[in-house]
Amino acid sequence: MAAPTGQVMKVYSPLYDGNISLFSVLTVGASATASILHKLEPEKTIDPKIYAGAFYQPWPGKADEEALWSETYPTLTPKRTMQWEDIRESLRLHCLPLCFERGRFVIPKALPPWTLDPMGMANVELLIQNFGGWSICMAREELSAWQPYLEGKGVYPDQLRIGSDPSGNGRPEKQSEALRDYQTIFPEKHNGTLKEALQQIEISTGNSYSESTLRRALRSTQKTDQS
């Protein structure tokens, strides 16, 4: 992160206790509710787009309405590059950020009004108190992967992660990401159900995974331990 004074500090995205990340967001449903409240009382509430950026759009239906998601965002595969180019301009963000202003990628100087009291918000308050106004930056070597996309000359860097594995076993990249997030949130393992673990992972990181993906990721670690 970079301060207005020019000071630069390297930070890790998970905050102190691992429950909240620098890039944590509200769920789709909670974000839509916050947007509805602003429409009902615009004089008393802050416009979510001030924090969420111009590409934020409240999800119009129920968060678990799979048919609407499929209709809005058709599944992409690495072999359908042209389809990605066709829909890229219509993609929208449906979750409100907790710790940063998405339009400018800066740490806000005040807590967003929709933060309520999720687990780990004490750390968010400390973040804002100490780093409010600082910009979130990217290392030059990481920027190189994004540069063609930002200039409109290439596809999204995560293009190969979009779509589904024909075998039905879940993409290895997705499994490794799920395992990484699981081990970050639960360094001593989790004694609850997979569903509860996935809910906590989504709250903390903004990343969502299926139960089957996480289950296979955990099985892979068991095989490694046994070998």
Which pLDDT score is estimated for 39?
Answer: 86
pLDDT at residue 106 in the model: 92
Lowest mean pLDDT segment, chosen from 3-12, 62-71, 134-143, 162-171: 162-171
**24-33, 153-162, 190-199, range with the lowest pLDDT:** 153-162
Q: What is the pLDDT of residue 14?
A: 75
Residue-wise pLDDT for 32-84, tens only, equals: 888 888 888 888 778 888 888 888 999 988 877 888 888 887 766 555 555 65
Q: Answer yes or no: are the C-beta atoms of 214 and 178 closer than 8 Å.
A: yes
pLDDT at 12 over 80: no
The predicted pLDDT at position 160 comes to 35
Average pLDDT, the chain: 76
Report which of residues 136 and 189 the model is more confident about. Answer: 136
**153 to 4, 81, 144: CA distances (angstroms):** 31, 12, 13
Whether the CB-CB separation of 198 and 214 falls below 8 Å is answered with yes
pLDDT at residue number 169: 45
